Amino acid sequence: MTILLNIDVPDAAQATTFYTSAFGLTVGRRFGTDFVELLGWPAPLYLLTKQAGTAGAGSDRRRYERHWTPLHIDVVVDDVDAAVARALAAGATLEAPACDAPYGRIAMLADPFGHGFCLLAFSAKGYDALLEE
Domain ranges of the chain: 1-52, 66-128
Instruction: Give the mean model confidence (pLDDT) for residues 43-70.
Output: 87
0.85 exceeded by pTM: yes
Q: Enter the CATH code of domain 66-128.
A: 3.10.180.10
Q: Give the angle 117-21-95 at the CA atoms, nearest 5°.
A: 30
For range 80-97, the mean pLDDT: 97
Cα–Cα distance measured from residue 99 to residue 108, given in angstroms and rounded to the nearest whole number: 10
Among 2-11, 60-69, 89-98, the minimum mean pLDDT is found in 60-69
Give the C-alpha separation, 50 to 47, whole Å.
9
Report phi then psi at 125, rounded to 5: -85, -20
DSSP class of 61? B
Give me the mean pLDDT over the 53-60 stretch.
Answer: 81
Tell me the pLDDT band of 132, cut-offs 50, 70 and 90: low
| The two domains 1-52 and 66-128 share their CATH topology (first three levels equal) | yes
The fold of the 1-52 domain, in CATH, is 2,3-Dihydroxybiphenyl 1,2-Dioxygenase; domain 1 (3.10.180)
**47 neighbors 35 (Cβ within 8 angstroms):** yes
Q: What is the mean pLDDT of residues 37-62?
A: 90
> Residue 32: phi, psi to the nearest 5?
80, -155
- Is a pLDDT exceeding 90 seen at residue 56? no
Task: Report the alpha-carbon distance of residue 65 to residue 113 in Å, rounded.
Answer: 6
